[in-house]
Structures are given as structure tokens and as C-alpha cells.
Amino acid sequence: MTTTAPAFPTHPFPPDFVWGVATSSFQIEGATNKDGRGDSIWDSFCRLPGVIADGSDGSIACDHYHRLDEDLDLIAGLGVNAYRFSVSWPRVQPSGSGAWNEAGLAFYERLVDGLLARGIKPYLTLNHWDLPAALQTSGGWANRDTVHRFVDYAIGLNARLGDRVASIATHNEPWVVAFLGHESGIFAPGIKDRAVAAQVSHHLLLSHGLALQALRAQGCKASLGIVLNLAPVQAATTSAEDIEQAHLEDGRLLRWYMDPLFKGGYPQDVLDFLGEDGPRIEAGDMQQIALPMDFLGINYYSRSVVSAAGPWDAKTSGLELTEMGWEIYPEGLTQLLLRLHQDYAVPPLYITENGGAFKDSLVDGVVKDDDRTDYIAAHIAAVGAAMRQGVPMCGYMVWSLLDNFEWASGYEKRFGIVHVDYATQTRTPKDSAVWYRAFLRAQQLAHAPLNVALTEV
Ligand code: IFM
């Protein structure tokens, strides 16, 4: 941890580079019973005993639903040119099919128009995990019918907002929905069944492809893509067993999503591993999934180290860890980007999430989160390193704008560059936010015509 703010990454990012902050609906909005919103699977999941570390839920969260204007001003104050957010499907279509909820649509319309009025590009995600609970009663993502409900939802939302958003991502981190939600079961809907998880991953990808096609058929002008959580997967040792296990893990985390999206098929080694638990695939599905995208979003936090002997203990690596217990490994981001560029014909890439949970304390109105600032600075530099080697990067977004509901960890882990006092809902930009704003200002000045730069000085 440094005691002085880290120097700004020196890579010359182009003037049109997208700099943003990211959030998601369930993690910040609260107001879960307000204005006709339906339940999501995360509302139901939070009611189960023992599944959320601090027993909390999303009913209030950051109360963003009631503090929209204040939060829009906060975002604008950071000097970013983009804001990534997700739409709560049950807020705009409470049962996940049929009737739309005007109050919910109006909320997102205010959000999008408020961003545009402040000169900030809206980056919308359709599914950041809060599936309408009504759809879960008929099987949720395991039911092929949900694919078609998702396409209808995408079309409805596009009709209302598609003319004003810069980008639409279909899904955020399908691996998390499939694996954590349906195989390990530690996330909503809490199912523990490998075959169900495989089917869910296939339906998520299929719904992505079908939504892309439907939105394009509607004349949607926003750039369209998907957001994946990816990491370089490394073997814990050079033993044949660890290397083999790491290859399989790379297959399950990265190639299971990248191969169908960019190569038209699932990796054979993972299909062999799944055997009878593999997904049911209908004729035409794989072509649909592989439709060309305008962008790919990557969420990067750490590397993944794999040992055949069982779960690997990150504490043994000697690297610094975040509060999540994740290793701080910025070079892994450069490695990952180079690998994607080399192995796949990738479209323009964004880092759609990157950041860290750290132990913050608010003292005299200040949060000295040097560890978070170091983390962000090092990862921006890692993006620059990949760009110098030819990777087509076009944006970087910090996770997250605000401290928020960190899923099964509840409110105990803080990822925000803005501190939230949950008792009073007071927002306080941390030192990392001050650093990010100064870095973005320096970027702006570096690209400003000489006379403007001189006026600014
Ligand atoms: O908070 C999450 C986010 O919702 C998805 N990506 C990872 C973040 C940190 O765990």
C-alpha cells in the first residue's frame, strides 16, 4: 500500500476512449416493493436463512431509486464519459412476461435522459442476475421458454430506450448465473445441479443471440454485445495433474463462453467432462449464438489458480489480497487481453468492471483507500500495456460507483469509489474517486487543443 497517490498511467489513451463507472440494479436501487416492481429471484433468495453473510437483502441497498438525481450529479462530478447500469427486469415487467410497468420504465427513462443531459453515455445491461421470480416458478433459465421471454423483454426495452443508449449488453457474467446460481448454488436461485447449470448456460447464450437478432431487426442503433467474467487460469504447480485441471477450468470459465460466441461450438474437452450432464442443443442454436457482436465486455478482478488436490489457498501465493480474498494481479489482465486477441476474432473490447473490496474507514469525512487507488491505477496501466501490443481496447469502467449489496457477502464488502453510510445514505467520494477524477481530467487536458489547455491551467 502506498502513502502517496500513484502516478497516472502513462499510456496515451485515445481521446474517444470510454471511461466510466459501473453498477447494477439489485445492488443499488432498493425500493423493491415500490411502484409496481415484481419480486426478483434475488428477493426470494435473500429470504432463505443463512444464504447472505450479514442476513441482509436488497430492499433498501443504496436507495438509488429515490436518490437518482443526487447520484447522477455524483457520477457527473467524477468526470467520466460513460455510466454502466442494469435494468431490473421485474421493475419494468413484473412477471417477466405480458404487462409492462410504466413507473419502472419511467425511472430508467429519467436515468438515461439524466445521463445524456450531463454529457454521459448510457451503457445498459439487460440482465445483471435479477430474473423476475415469476419466471423461476416455471424453471427460470433452465426452461427454454425463458429465452423467448428475455427476447420480448429486450424488444420492449429497446422500443423505449434504444434510441438513447450507447450500448446494450445482453447478459452480465453468464458463468456466475449458471455456475454460482445453479451448480454450487451459493447465488440465486440456489440450485445445486451440474446438468441444470449446463442447460442454463446454453439458454443464456441462446437468448443473447436471439436478442441480438431481434434488436437489429428493430433497427436498434446501440452497439450490442455481452459481458463475461474472465481470468487467466494458471496451474498451481508444473505437475501434469495440475496442468490438466487448469486446462479444464479454463474450458469451463473461458472457452465455454468464448468458443460458442466466436467459434460456433462448445469446447469438446468440457463436453466430454460433462458427459450426460451436457446441454440439450437444438438445430440452429449454435449459429444463433455466434452472431457477430459490436463489442465484448470483460469483467476482470484476478487470476484463477488451480490445483488438482483441491481448492487453492490464495494466502500462500505471497501476492496482496483484496477483502474478497482475491489476489491483486494486474499483469493477468494484460495476459488475458493478449490471449483473447490471439485466440479469437474479438470485436472492440471494454473492461466493463474492475475494482476491489478493501477495508475502508471514514474518518473526518475522508476515506484514505490508497490500496483501491493503487489497484485501479495498476489495472489501467495493464490495459495500456495490452493496447501497445495491438489489443483493440475502447473503454474501462470501475466497479463500482458506490459501496453496495455484494450478493452473498451482503454489505460487508465495499467495492465503491464512493463511500455509502447505509444508516444515513450519505455519499462520500473516497480518495480513489478523487484520484480517478484527477486522472480523467489529465486525460482530457492531454487531448485538449493548446488554447483550451492553457485556459484551464
Ligand atoms: O459485485 C459484483 C458484480 O455484480 C459482478 N461482477 C463482480 C462484482 C464483484 O464481486
Mean pLDDT within 118-138: 99
Other C-beta atoms within 10 Å of 371: how many? Answer: 18
For residue range 95-115, what is the model confidence (pLDDT) as tens digits?
999 999 999 999 999 999 999
Mean pLDDT within 142-150: 99
User: What's the rounded Cα separation, in Å, for the pair 415 and 83?
Assistant: 16
Residue whose CA is at the smallest distance from ligand 1 atom 1: 406
In the structure, what pLDDT confidence band is assigned to residue 156 with cuts at 50, 70 and 90? Answer: very high
Each residue of 260-295: b (16+ CB within 10 Å) or e?
bbbeeebbeebbeebeeebbebeeebbebbbeebeb
Ligand 1 centre and the CA of 384: distance in Å? 23
Catalytic residue among 173, 183, 249, 327: 173
Indicate the burial class of 321 (C-beta count within 10 angstroms; 0-12, 13-18, 19 or more).
middle
Q: What is the pLDDT of residue 28?
A: 99
Q: What is the pLDDT of residue 452?
A: 55
User: What does the block give as the cell for 39?
Assistant: 419480486
User: What's the rounded Cα separation, in Å, for the pair 165 and 177?
Assistant: 25
**What residue ranges line ligand 1, CB within 6 angstroms?**
24, 27, 173, 299, 353, 399, 406, 415
Ligand 1 centre and the CA of 78: distance in Å? 21
User: What does the block give as the cell for 304?
Assistant: 484463477
Ligand 1 centre and the CA of 228: distance in Å? 11
Residue whose CA is at the smallest distance from ligand 1 atom 4: 24
Ligand 1 centre and the CA of 455: distance in Å? 40
Q: What is the pLDDT of residue 449?
A: 75
Q: What is the pLDDT of residue 10?
A: 86
In the structure, what pLDDT confidence band is assigned to residue 448 with cuts at 50, 70 and 90? Answer: confident
For the chain, list the domains and their CATH numbers. Answer: 18-456 (3.20.20.80)
User: What does the block give as the cell for 8?
Assistant: 497516472
For residue range 291-324, what is the model confidence (pLDDT) as tens digits?
999 999 999 999 999 999 999 999 999 999 999 9
Each residue of 219-248: b (16+ CB within 10 Å) or e?
ebebbbbbbbbbbbbbbbeeeeebeebbbb
CA-172 nearest atom, ligand 1: 5
Residue 29 is among the residues annotated as catalytic for this protein: no
Residue 406 is among the residues annotated as catalytic for this protein: no
Ligand 1 centre and the CA of 155: distance in Å? 26
CA-324 nearest atom, ligand 1: 10
CA-355 nearest atom, ligand 1: 9
User: What's the rounded Cα separation, in Å, for the pair 313 and 296?
Assistant: 31
| Residue with grid cell 484514505, as numbered in its chain | 368
User: What's the rounded Cα separation, in Å, for the pair 100 and 82?
Assistant: 27
In the structure, what pLDDT confidence band is assigned to residue 4 with cuts at 50, 70 and 90? Answer: confident
Q: In 3D, which of 303, 302, 309 has the Cα closest to residue 242?
A: 309
Ligand 1 centre and the CA of 167: distance in Å? 20
Catalytic residue among 29, 249, 353, 406: 353
Best residue among 173, 298, 397, 398 to mutate for probing ligand 1's pocket (most ligand atoms within 8 Å of CB) is 173
For residue range 385-411, what is the model confidence (pLDDT) as tens digits?
999 999 999 999 999 999 999 999 999
In the structure, what pLDDT confidence band is assigned to residue 425 with cuts at 50, 70 and 90? Answer: very high
For residue range 346-373, what is the model confidence (pLDDT) as tens digits?
999 999 999 999 999 999 999 999 999 9
In the structure, what pLDDT confidence band is assigned to residue 455 with cuts at 50, 70 and 90? Answer: low
Best residue among 125, 400, 414 to mutate for probing ligand 1's pocket (most ligand atoms within 8 Å of CB) is 400
CA-409 nearest atom, ligand 1: 10
CA-407 nearest atom, ligand 1: 1
